[in-house]
Amino acid sequence: MEKQQNKRNFSKSRRDGASIFAIIFALLFIAMGVRGFMGAGTVPTSAMLPNGINTTQTKPVELSFSDVLRRGKDIQTMTIHGTDATGTMKDGTKYTATITYDPELLSKLAANGTSISIDASKGTMEYLGTWFPIIISLLFLWWLFRGMRGGAGGITRGLAQQNPTKITTGKPKTTFADVAGIDSEKQELMEVVDFLKNKEKFTAVGARVPRGVLLSGEPGTGKTLLARAIAGEANVPFFAASGSDFSGIIVGLGVAKIKEIFEMAKRNAPCILFIDEIDAIGQRRSTGSYNDQDREQTLNQLLIEMDGFANDTGIIVIGATNRPDMLDSALLRPGRFDRQVYIELPDLAGRRAILDLYAKKIKVGDDVNIQDVARGTTGFSGADLENLLNEAALHAVRNGRTAIAHADIEEARDKILMGPRKTRKMRPEDIKLTAYHEAGHAFVSQMYSDITDPIHKATIVPRGRALGMVQHLPIDDKVSMTIAEVRANLSIALAGRSAEEVFFGADKITTGAESDIAMATRLARYSITTAGLSPRVGLAAINQITNFGRSSALESASEKTAELVDNEIKAWLDTAHADATKLLVKNKKVVERLANELLTRETLTGDEIREIICGKKATAKKAAKPRAKKNAK
């Protein structure tokens, strides 16, 4: 019943929109029609040229441009208006033609005795053509101005109703079972579901009921999904809009739209009103620019609506943002978005759960180890994981498989992380150098496998900007590193460059180590200036990354300290580089073998690498210190 009412509302507003378009179209048609008529009218005008023949009955012949060129001698008069030419032939027939305005042609015609006149006057329609855009702009400005004065009145309101499609609605079938890996967040939101289902229970004891829930977290962590699931669990309608829909060039539109969706929500209560990207309206008030003024009005309207709920309305507003720090604090006051749930990127267990959920929906082959996939996807959001399995499924289909194989997941993951495979042709010497570079990373990495993450694979297949790479597979999610790990990782990172020097000579080194060097520098700087790992620099935090990604001095570091830091970073990097070089020089033979295997096979798995280095079958976990160390000699 209520739903129907809703539908009617939608179609009505759509009609409003349609009528505006109809008017615009009608105007265009009239303009075109008048123009066409005027165009046709030029023929009779020129037909009145004095030529002594009754012309009203003879229709002018149409000459092509080549006819004009060919029959130039036969043409008596020609009146040129732009590219239109009209006139009479020497035998009295009238003609029309389209010509290119060419001085040479004209002089040729004149030489033949044609009398030529050029009509440079403008038709009324052409005047209108010049004025039309100006008039339209003026009308538009007037419109904007009206919007500003009248707030949500008049046309802005009509416009607000024009885009009902942006508001998605319906009772979602999504439930909490469709959301995996974020159990504590689900638990927290159970109460909201409970309230929507048993409003009376809450109001009977006079409990203050939730009105607004703010879900924050990185994109793709499942905020929208969770909001839908709440509606689904409570079996109430779900209205969704995006904060960015509320801002536009038309002032007052945002306010009108806010009023509109809240009206709709009230008619359908209990329900969930979901506003994605709420930071687009709820940003902290700041600069006072023109755009800000509009947003502020919109934000105020949102606050008014939320404050205006009676205690038992049964509307829960769920906002989602990935920049909670940017929100105006007014939004977070009691009675507004007073419940805040932060959704983290999923940890290892979470990723496992999400992968399991989606793996159930597709065919996954026996050689796929979901736990390993979860391990190799640190930093992936729920959406990324879903996308990973999708890409893998596509890859499987392209390769004629009926179930996803390990190779499909590898390909999909590399594609997501590094970009698609490059088919770029590389010179053989570049490929060779890349193979040694990657072999260097892989070898040194294996030398430190007792304290660092095991190698997952090494490859010389170019992807994105990388010519090759060595990947590691963490055993579990790491939250910190020991100083030994940091030093080891620096060596591993710089081992590519070391290999270039050891096997090709210092004059052959390439820019290919660019990202290795950037990564190593970042890690060293962080360890020294932020994590207090350098005894020489000490425990003082010297730099801190602010929210806005700008780096600013926390303690104003003296010039002396800054110099000390620079020297210390250089010292750490030099030590790591020397260490890697030493390891490679000592084990030239093995590294060479590794590089050659890479050249022939392009990609080596962690196990294959361990086998080449350690000489026998070894698995990731068992390839620990003793054997690796022995081979290091």
Interacting residue ranges for ligand ADP, rule: CB under 6 A: 179-182, 217, 219-225, 320, 354, 357, 382-383, 386
Q: Which is nearer to Zn ion, 99 or 444 (CB)?
A: 444
Q: Minimal distance in Å, beta carbon 342 to ligand ADP? A: 12
Residue 496 binds which entry of Zn ion, ligand ADP, none, CB below 5-8 Å type-dependent = Zn ion
Residue 595 binds which entry of ligand ADP, Zn ion, none, CB below 5-8 Å type-dependent = none
Q: Minimal distance in Å, beta carbon 322 to ligand ADP? A: 7
Residue 220 binds which entry of ligand ADP, Zn ion, none, CB below 5-8 Å type-dependent = ligand ADP
Give the pairing of strands 212-217 and 315-321: parallel
Dihedral (C-alpha) 360, 361, 365, 368: value to the nearest 10 degrees?
A: -60
Q: How far is CA 442 from CA 177, 199, 330, in A?
A: 42, 61, 53
Q: Minimal distance in Å, beta carbon 494 to Zn ion? A: 9
Q: Which is nearer to Zn ion, 381 or 587 (CB)?
A: 587
Q: Which of 305, 328, 516, 568 contacts Zn ion by CB under 5 A?
A: 516
Residue 148: helix, strand or coil by DSSP?
A: helix
Q: Which is nearer to ligand ADP, 174 or 529 (CB)?
A: 174
Q: Which is nearer to ligand ADP, 311 or 322 (CB)?
A: 322
Q: Minimal distance in Å, beta carbon 261 to ligand ADP? A: 18
Q: Minimal distance in Å, beta carbon 286 to ligand ADP? A: 25
What sign for the dihedral angle of Cα 598, 603, 606, 612? negative
Evaluate whether 244 touches 288 at the Cβ level (below 8 Å).
no
In whole angstroms, give the CA distance from residue 633 to residue 589. Answer: 12
CB neighbours of residue 113 within 10 Å: 11
Residue of 92, 98, 93, 90 whose CA lies nearest to 39? 98
Examine residue 440 and tell whether it contacts Zn ion (CB under 5 A).
Answer: no
In whole angstroms, give the CA distance from residue 624 to residue 446. Answer: 9
Q: Which is nearer to ligand ADP, 113 or 219 (CB)?
A: 219
Examine residue 391 and tell whether it contacts Zn ion (CB under 5 A).
Answer: no
DSSP 615: S
In whole angstroms, give the CA distance from residue 239 to residue 236. Answer: 10
Evaluate whether 281 touches 242 at the Cβ level (below 8 Å).
no
Is 218 tagged catalytic? no
CB neighbours of residue 392 within 10 Å: 26
Q: How far is CA 430 from CA 119, 252, 437, 462, in A?
A: 68, 60, 10, 11
In whole angstroms, give the CA distance from residue 477 to residue 378. Answer: 7
Q: Which of 252, 254, 496, 606 contacts Zn ion by CB under 5 A?
A: 496
Examine residue 501 and tell whether it contacts Zn ion (CB under 5 A).
Answer: no
Residue 321 binds which entry of Zn ion, ligand ADP, none, CB below 5-8 Å type-dependent = none
In whole angstroms, give the CA distance from residue 237 to residue 218. Answer: 26
**Residue 462 CA neighbour count, 13 Å, CB half:** 15
DSSP 115: E
Residue 516 binds which entry of Zn ion, ligand ADP, none, CB below 5-8 Å type-dependent = Zn ion
Q: Minimal distance in Å, beta carbon 224 to ligand ADP? A: 3
Evaluate whether 274 touches 224 at the Cβ level (below 8 Å).
yes
Count of residues interacting with Zn ion (CB under 5 A): 2
Q: Minimal distance in Å, beta carbon 225 to ligand ADP? A: 4
Residue 130: helix, strand or coil by DSSP?
A: helix
Q: Which is nearer to ligand ADP, 210 or 222 (CB)?
A: 222
Q: Which is nearer to Zn ion, 406 or 463 (CB)?
A: 463
In whole angstroms, give the CA distance from residue 427 to residue 187. Answer: 57
Tokens standing for 365? 């082959």
Tokens standing for 622? 């068992």
Helices 483-504 and 514-529, axial angle in degrees (round to 10): 150
Q: Minimal distance in Å, beta carbon 169 to ligand ADP? A: 17
Evaluate whether 375 touches 406 at the Cβ level (below 8 Å).
no
Q: Which is nearer to ligand ADP, 95 or 274 (CB)?
A: 274
DSSP 251: T
Q: Which is nearer to Zn ion, 395 or 497 (CB)?
A: 497
Evaluate whether 453 touches 593 at the Cβ level (below 8 Å).
no
In whole angstroms, give the CA distance from residue 88 to residue 475. Answer: 92
What sign for the dihedral angle of Cα 104, 105, 106, 111? positive
CB neighbours of residue 242 within 10 Å: 18
Instruction: Give the interface segment with Zn ion, choosing from 111-119, 393-401, 413-421, 496-504 (CB under 5 A).
Output: 496-504
Q: Which is nearer to ligand ADP, 87 or 282 (CB)?
A: 282
Q: Minimal distance in Å, beta carbon 210 to ligand ADP? A: 19
Q: Tell me phi and psi for residue 605, to 5 degrees.
A: -80, 165
Q: How far is CA 413 from CA 168, 218, 278, 406, 421, in A?
A: 32, 19, 31, 11, 12
Catalytic residue among 410, 438, 500, 501: 438
Q: Minimal distance in Å, beta carbon 386 to ligand ADP? A: 5
By beta-carbon distance, which residue lies closest to Zn ion?
A: 496
Tell me which residues are annotated as active site: 438
Residues that bind Zn ion (CB under 5 A): 496, 516
